[in-house]
């Protein structure tokens, strides 16, 4: 309890117990996944699932703080498990060294309480959104496009999903300042913790961040009836 004493003053013993019992699947261990996993592990989330099919490259190291030169050309899931395991040895880590798709989702998503999408490609975002709706799981989506970023809370039947407004594919995700990933990744972890402990107030489901102006805007996105995420 000493490890979590400072934030237990905010969430109480019941909140800390909820985190200890929680099972969260984090998709991606890169620029967003690194701070997200660190923050969730630090908070004491009992079980973290880690999905990534990539290997560590030197170009990752300006922003992907789970990894280091020692893990170059090794699976990112191995690097993430070792780093987080040393950081907090009291939590359970489960790794899946493959691309997240419908087949993998069917195998593993039902055993988790919540999903956090920390990827940089459109196809995986759509797959994560689809399985959140299918399995009725809350999804915390995050992304960065140049000097802008966002966090979206997807609660099937209550908020808009990622596909409600016909999001278009793009390749801007490659343009990123390392420090900005820490902002969005930690926001994703924060919103995840608020959901798990019941302190999300329900007044917003989308956070838009402008890094250039250091500004943030919150809004609530209603589900699009034509999308089907209410069904």
- CATH code of the domain in which 82 resides: 3.40.50.720
Q: Residue 71 domain-assigned? A: yes
Q: Residue 156 domain-assigned? A: no
Q: Residue 95 domain-assigned? A: yes
**Cα–Cα distance, 144 to 166 (Å, whole number):** 18
- Least confident residue range of 42-51, 144-153, 165-174, 221-230: 165-174
CA distances from 4 to 1, 8, 19, 45, 114 (A): 5, 6, 11, 11, 21
Retrieve residue 133's tokens: 């709706």
The whole-model pTM stands at 0.94
Confidence of residue 172 (pLDDT cuts 50, 70, 90): very low
Q: Residue 18 domain-assigned? A: yes
Is 90 exceeded by the pLDDT of residue 180?
yes
Is 90 exceeded by the pLDDT of residue 115?
yes
Q: How many domains does the chain have?
A: 1
Is 60 exceeded by the pLDDT of residue 64?
yes
Confidence of residue 92 (pLDDT cuts 50, 70, 90): very high
Q: What is the pLDDT of residue 121?
A: 86
Q: Residue 133 domain-assigned? A: yes
| Beta strand segments in 86-202, E | 92-96, 114-117, 138-145, 148-154
Give the domain range for residue 130.
5-140+166-200
Q: Residue 157 domain-assigned? A: no
Share of the chain above pLDDT 70, in %: 94
DSSP single-letter state for residue 81: H
**Cα–Cα distance, 36 to 21 (Å, whole number):** 18
SS3 state of residue 177: coil
Q: Residue 220 domain-assigned? A: no
CB 137 within 8 A of CB 114: yes
- Least confident residue range of 81-85, 181-185, 222-226: 222-226
Q: Residue 41 domain-assigned? A: yes
Over residues 53-68, the mean pLDDT reads 93
């Amino acid at each position: 309890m000493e490890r979590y004493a400072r934030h237990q003053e905010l969430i109480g013993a019941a909140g800390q117990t909820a985190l200890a019992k929680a099972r969260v699947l984090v998709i991606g261990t890169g620029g967003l996944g690194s701070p997200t996993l660190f923050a969730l592990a630090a908070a004491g989330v009992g079980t973290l699932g880690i999905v990534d099919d990539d290997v560590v490259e030197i170009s990752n190291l300006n922003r992907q703080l789970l990894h280091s030169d020692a893990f170059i050309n090794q699976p990112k899931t191995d690097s993430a498990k070792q780093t987080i395991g040393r950081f907090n040895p009291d939590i359970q880590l489960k790794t899946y060294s493959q691309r997240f798709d419908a087949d993998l989702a069917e195998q593993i998503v039902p055993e988790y309480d919540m999903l956090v999408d920390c990827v940089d490609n459109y196809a995986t975002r759509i797959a994560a959104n689809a399985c959140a709706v299918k399995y009725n799981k809350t999804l915390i989506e995050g992304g960065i496009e140049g000097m802008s970023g966002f966090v979206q809370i997807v609660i099937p039947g209550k908020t808009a999903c990622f596909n409600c407004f016909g999001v278009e594919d793009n390749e801007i995700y490659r343009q990123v300042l390392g420090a900005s990933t820490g902002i969005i990744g930690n926001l994703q972890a924060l919103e995840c913790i608020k959901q798990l402990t019941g302190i999300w107030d329900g007044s917003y489901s989308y956070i838009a961040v402008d890094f250039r102006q250091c500004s943030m805007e919150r809004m609530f996105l209603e589900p699009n009836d034509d999308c089907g995420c209410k069904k």
